[in-house]
Structure formats: structure tokens, C-alpha cells
Amino acid sequence: MSQTKIFAHRGFSSQFPENTMIAFQTALEVGVDGIEFDVQLSKDHVPVIIHDHTLDRTSTGSGVVGHYSLQELKQFSAGSWFHEQFKEEQIPTLEEIFLWATNNALQLNVELKGYVWERQKLISIVFPLIKKYGLQNRVIVSSFDHKVIHLWNKQFPTIETGIIVKAALHNPKLYVQQIATLGYHFYYMSLTTEEAEQLINSGIRLRPYTVNDKNWIRTFVNLKCEAIITDYPDLALSLR
Ligand code: G3P
Ligand code: CA
């Protein structure tokens, strides 16, 4: 089995404003294998990269992301909340990341946020973009909303997917089979080492999040998890 991959959570988010192009570019430059980022729709149905449903924490905007058109969202700084030096950073679009990714070989963990009533719309907008940029073999589509992953798998079974799980599940192996997914993206303290080993031996791709502690990073590397999702990709790479 190949070595555990290191995915930068929302880009290199411990050092740069999360979910911005500078956070993705610097993650690439430190040598990560992949990046993770959050996707939701603007008012005019453009997939944009921002974690919260509201703008307030990570931009100069205020209120619900989906209440603004792309043009309006682009007026806000997505970096000044982190540090004034990043004030020119904008909220990226999914297409901007995909275009940028055509110049590198990173894996792209696309986390679908959005609302449950927008599931099919999100799928119908995101898939053509993956296809347009020829990224079918480089994306992993994940979500806390397992129904959107189930729907995705029925429509595009050749694209890799994963469910995101916060708490322990009774029978994770059976559950992932029911969703028809391969990836189990779990809160890093929600599985025991024994459970993790069993799942790995069953062929499930474990990607714990958000692993920022060096002892935990070592644990998941030793277990040979498929990937570690971390805010500290530099630390994780140095420990691998
Ligand atoms: O994809 C794993 C992780 O990003 C899920 O949690 O809240 O950071 O999106 P959150
Ligand atoms: Ca995320």
C-alpha cells in the first residue's frame, strides 16, 4: 500500500486565509498530495469556495452566502479577516480552482456544503465542471450530507466519493456499502485504532480530519490511512 497522503484542509489554512487561492497555492508549494475545500452556490448558482453558510467570519461581507450573486461576492475580501496583507484575496469559484489545478497534479477533495433542497442542482452544476477540466480521476467528492453522495454515486459512479462523519457509526463498513462509496472521512477521534484497522483491511479509504497534532498524525501514518486532512500540511509532511 502506498504512503498516507497529506491533504491541506481548506488549503494551508493555519498560515493563510482558508479557502483562498493563496492557501491552495502555498499548500501546493510545500508539497501536499491534495487539497480540501468547501463548495456552495451563489445566488446566481455559481459554485463558490467558502466554508460557512454566512460571510461574516471569513470575509468582509455579511449575511448568507447564497443571497449574493457571484459579482457581489467578488467585492468582498476573503483575506483581510486573517491579516491585512491578504486583503486582495477574493472568494474563489470552483472553476478558478479547477483551472489552476490543470497546471498541477493535486488531488482535489471537493466538499459539497449547500442546502438539502439544492442537492441535485449542486450535482448538476459541479459534475460538468469536473468533466470540462478533465479532473474525473483527481477529484474526491465528499459531504456531511450523505444523501447527496448517494445521489452522486447513482449518477456518476466512476467519480470517487466519501462520506464525512462526525460521530462514531454503529457499523461503518455496512454504512459505506449502502451509500456505495469508498471514502470514510471521519472526525479523527471518532474511531479506535482497532476499528480504523478493520476498515482499512476492508478496503475503505480512511481520511481523518482535522488532524493537527503530531502524535495523531504519526498514528494515522502508521495505520496507513489513505490520507490525513490537516491545517498543518508542513508538519504532517515532515512527520510522514
Ligand atoms: O472534509 C473534512 C472537513 O473539512 C469537514 O469539516 O467543518 O472543516 O468542513 P469542516
Ligand atoms: Ca470542509
Q: What is the pLDDT of residues 30-81, one digit of tens each?
A: 999 999 999 999 999 999 999 999 999 999 999 999 999 999 999 999 999 9
- How do strand 47-49 and strand 34-41 relate by DSSP bridges? antiparallel
What is the percent of the chain where pLDDT is above 70?
Answer: 100
How many Å apart are CA 94 and CA 72, to the nearest integer?
A: 16
Nearest to 176 by CA among 192, 160, 193: 160
- How do strand 160-165 and strand 139-143 relate by DSSP bridges? parallel
Q: Which CATH number fits domain 5-239: 3.40.50.720, 3.20.20.190, 3.40.50.2300, 3.20.20.60?
A: 3.20.20.190
Average pLDDT over residues 85-114: 98
Separation in Å, CA 27 to CA 12, 30, 34, 81, 192: 5, 5, 8, 20, 29
How many Å apart are CA 206 and CA 4, to the nearest integer?
A: 10
Residue 9 CA, closest ligand 1 atom number:
4
- Tell me the pLDDT band of 1, cut-offs 50, 70 and 90: low
Measured in Å, residue 106 CA sits from the centre of ligand 2 at 17
188-203 residue pLDDT tens: 999 999 999 999 999 9
Indicate whether 2 pLDDT > 90.
no
How many Å apart are CA 108 and CA 125, to the nearest integer?
A: 17
9 in contact with ligand 1, CB cutoff 6 A: yes
Domain spans of the chain? Answer: 5-239
How many Å apart are CA 153 and CA 68, to the nearest integer?
A: 30
Q: Which three cell numbers stand for residue 176?
A: 459505506
Average pLDDT over residues 101-120: 96
**Average pLDDT score, the chain:** 97
Give the alpha-carbon dihedral of 196, 171, 138, 210, to 10 degrees: -50
Residue 38 CA, closest ligand 1 atom number:
9
Active site residue 51: yes
Indicate whether 6 pLDDT > 70.
yes
Average pLDDT over residues 1-22: 96
Q: Which three cell numbers stand for residue 196?
A: 480504523
How many Å apart are CA 240 and CA 236, to the nearest integer?
A: 6
- Tell me the pLDDT band of 168, cut-offs 50, 70 and 90: confident
Tracing cell 491541506 back to the chain, one arrives at 8
How many Å apart are CA 148 and CA 228, to the nearest integer?
A: 23
Return the pLDDT at 136: 98
ipTM: 0.99
Return the pLDDT at 157: 97
Catalytic residue from among 45, 51, 83, 146: 51
Q: Are 11 and 40 in contact (CB under 8 A)?
A: no
202-212 residue pLDDT tens: 999 999 999 99
Active site residue 185: no
